[in-house]
Amino acid sequence: MSTDPVPTDPVSETVRAMARREAAAALLPAPRVEWGAKGPSVRPLLVPCPACGAHADARGWAPPFDDGSDAAPVLRMLACESVTARAVLPIVVVAERFPALRGATFRTRALAWSETSHRGLAAALEAIDAAERWVTDPGRAAGRTLPASTRRRGADAPWTRYRRGLVPSFLSPHPDPRIVPPALETLYAEERRAATVAAYHRAH
């Protein structure tokens, strides 16, 4: 972990808050499912990516993703991205606790970024941060954006290049260092890791 002073500018503070929120969301207890029973699901809805032009295609979804469930909450996501099954746990949990949200629509952070990045880095991050607060503070929510890092879905490429694509970004499957400085990606990863470790120690 870096020993440099922790940045305290508004953008860095927002990035750190988003990282802590993702860490907290990933540590939520999963709903209990009886052996052999169908567990809660999330219906993915693929959206064309304005950056690479990827369109919706047929995917083999594993639980809790279920593209054939009309009764499940919907997660709108870029056609070129992937998020982990653990990442959608907040949606599953809130849908179990609040029946009115079982048919609600959510969006990935990457999709939110693609829709707000034209505002500039600081304004876009502020909007995304506000839209993610439903996870830890439902009363302050300004939207339903999923607090989860993203990575580009597998593509036809040599392994060395494909391996680089497996590294997640906190904002986009197409991270642009000219817009989002790599230092922010590092700050996010370190803050999320520290928050996860701290939560583990508190629980034990």
pLDDT in tens, 78-137: 999 999 999 999 999 988 888 888 889 999 999 999 999 999 999 999 999 999 999 877
Rg over alpha carbons for the chain, rounded to the nearest Å, is 17
Amino acid at 145: T
pTM: 0.88
Q: Residue 181: what residue type?
A: P
User: How many other CB atoms are there within 10 angstroms of residue 106's CB atom?
Assistant: 25
Give the Cα separation of 47 and 76 in Å (integer).
7
CA 196 to chain centre: 16
